[in-house]
Chain A
Amino acid sequence: MDGPPPVQRVPEERLAMKCQKCEKPATFHITELTDPAGPLELHLCEDCAKTYLTQGAVEEPGPAMIGGALGKQVQVGQTAEELARLDQKVCPVCGISYYEFRQAGRLGCPHDYICFEPELEPLIVSIHGQSKHSGKVPRRGAARTDRQTDLIRLRREMKEAVEREEYEKASQLRDQIRNIETEY
């Protein structure tokens, strides 16, 4: 099928390199990517490399994602009473409760970032390590979107009015929604 495989030339000093933990020749060349200390080079024989690599298995897992961050907030943050009060907080725009967000890990509308700001702030910092956006912004800049937020609220109120069979109120809301929708 094929001839002998192409054997790569290895620099002389690498061939002669001894394991940093014993006298055997180093055959594993490991570089730790730990930042910001800079890369750390390790040269080990097969046995020492195995020990070194399996030792790491007990280390801390990666940074907390949403579930972990939420869990931590609950542990560190509030007493059960405070948490119960917090859970009942409801967004006036989309109607989601903080409890529902905690359960699902997903927010209900853009306004949640404003109405749950004190609760979300520590969570966001624990996920991202900071709380201020840097980089691209929309062309219109950071212009306020209050009218759009109104639409979300009005549509929800209309749907609820229909469910309660308050048709007069629902039709008033419908007109309001149409007025905003035709604006842009």
Chain B
Amino acid sequence: MKLEELAGQCGEWLRGTGPESDIVISSRFRLARNLAQFPFIRRCGEQDRSAIERTICDRVGAVEEWSKLAYVDVARLPPVDRQFLVERQLISRELSEGEGPRGVAIDPQEKFSVMINEEDHLRIQVMHSGLDLQNAWDQINRIDDMIDERVTYAFHERLGYLTACPTNVGGGLRVSVMLHLPALVMTQQIERVFRSLQKINLAVRGLYGEGSQPRGDFYQISNQITLGRSESQLIEQVGKVVPMLIEYERRAREFLVRDNQKDLHDKVSRAYGILCTAQTISSAETMDLLSSVRMGVNLGLIEDIEIPTINRLFIHTQPAHLQKLRGGELDTADRNIERAQYLQRHLRKGNRGGAQQKN
């Protein structure tokens, strides 16, 4: 699999399908696992890291299901390609910026990936479009079983799966749901909602995980506690909270439509106007404006663009994606020009398509 082939696609998490996909972007599960016969990554030299990579690839790579995956040697990847995989959420920033032998096995449909030698020896990730917790868990559980049959995981009778950081010990499971919450941001309710979530031990992060800026009004909600709660309890907890957040976002949108219709319509139209006509535009501004347009499309304020088109623009205008699509390296200033041209091409094309359909 060539990364260039991935670049043209949208990837699973921005496909824009699945239940509640106007607000819920994706459901993601992550399992942290370690092999019992190696130290944790911090105490691993080059040799240990190579041995871990080899052990996993040799033992698990022989499975037929696994042979369909593309294994990417992240250590040998140029920085733009590593950034590309981070933008697609197939690897973490930690793996991208790490040291020594490390890699990722990627499912061609991008529904799951397995990182090797990140913070833990193994980080298994499953990502489904929309709100799809049970199916995503079933899938990651099967993958975990398949690996478990072939290696010996570090496990403690009382503490569960042992991880490099005590914050992940136990089930090693992170259940995350990514939501698009522009109306809660506009009505200034978002901080309040997040404080409530923190009180029940749910963490809120930006689009690209820990420490990232919340851009484009995308937020990830996930469990903080991994010990003493079973997988089904964690799924139930997140599964109960997300519909409430969807309801608040819908109510906030109703409020904006009802009481602030002119302002809302103005904000959406201006965002659309800038995206269609700007000559140079940053990634951050693009994401914020696309967020308004996305909500406008969902509320019927813009009629001639489809949500999957907007979703694709979110990812294709990221720095590494722009460069992969363009087929060459670009500095920040050139990227901003390229981005503006890319947006014009795709949004104006959308306009023409819409006009034709109406005729």
Contacts and interface: CB of A to CB of B under 8 A. Distances in A.
A112 B56 CA distance: 23
A57 interface: yes
Contacts of A34: 196, 199-200
Contact of B148 (A35, A120, A129, A138): A138
A8 B264 CA distance: 14
Given A109-B40, A134-B228, A33 B166 contact: no
A96 interface: yes
B155 A137 contact: yes
Contacts of A30: 189, 192
B193 A33 contact: yes
A104 B198 CA distance: 25
Contacts of B35: 148
Nearest to A155: B48
Contact of B40 (A31, A59, A63, A108): A108
A128 to B, nearest CB: 4
Given A63-B201, A145-B154, A108 B228 contact: no
Interface stretch (B5-13, B296-304, B336-344): B296-304
B155 A142 contact: yes
Contacts of A120: 166
Contacts of B203: 62
A48 to B, nearest CB: 13
Contacts of B189: 28, 30, 53
Question: What's the interface size class on A, roughly?
Answer: 35 or more
Contacts of A39: 244
Contact of A2 (B39, B193, B201, B303): B303
A8 B299 CA distance: 10
A170 interface: no
Given A1-B304, A62-B198, A94 B255 contact: no
Contact of A56 (B161, B192, B197, B232): B192
Interface string A124-153: 100111111111111110100101110110
B158 A133 contact: yes
A136 B141 CA distance: 9
A24 interface: no
Given A10-B254, A34-B196, A134-B228, A110 B162 contact: yes
A113 interface: yes
B169 A96 contact: no
Contacts of B45: 159
Given A33-B241, A59-B195, A151-B37, A107 B165 contact: yes
A84 interface: no
A32 interface: yes
A72 interface: no
B229 interface: yes
A106 B119 contact: yes
B188 A66 contact: no
B166 A123 contact: yes
A58 to B, nearest CB: 11
B225 interface: yes
Contacts of A145: 36-37, 152, 154-155
Contacts of A127: 166-167, 225, 227
B20 to A, nearest CB: 17
B251 A29 contact: yes
B220 interface: no
Contacts of A66: 165-167
B331 interface: no
Contact of A96 (B43, B231, B301): B43
Interface string B149-167: 1001111111111101111
B165 A105 contact: yes
Contact of B229 (A113, A134, A148): A134
Interface string A3-17: 001111010000000
Contacts of B64: none
A106 B144 CA distance: 23
A33 B197 contact: yes
A59 B201 CA distance: 15
A61 B198 contact: yes
A53 B34 CA distance: 43
B92 interface: no
B187 interface: yes
A22 interface: no
A106 B251 CA distance: 43
21 contacts: A5-B261, A7-B257, A29-B255, A30-B189, A33-B199, A34-B199, A39-B244, A53-B189, A66-B167, A108-B39, A108-B43, A113-B159, A129-B201, A132-B228, A133-B156, A133-B160, A133-B171, A134-B170, A134-B233, A136-B230, A145-B155
Interface of A: 1-2, 5-8, 10, 27-35, 39, 50, 53, 56-57, 59, 61-63, 65-66, 93-96, 104-110, 112-114, 120, 123-124, 127-140, 142, 145, 147-149, 151-152, 155-156, 159, 184
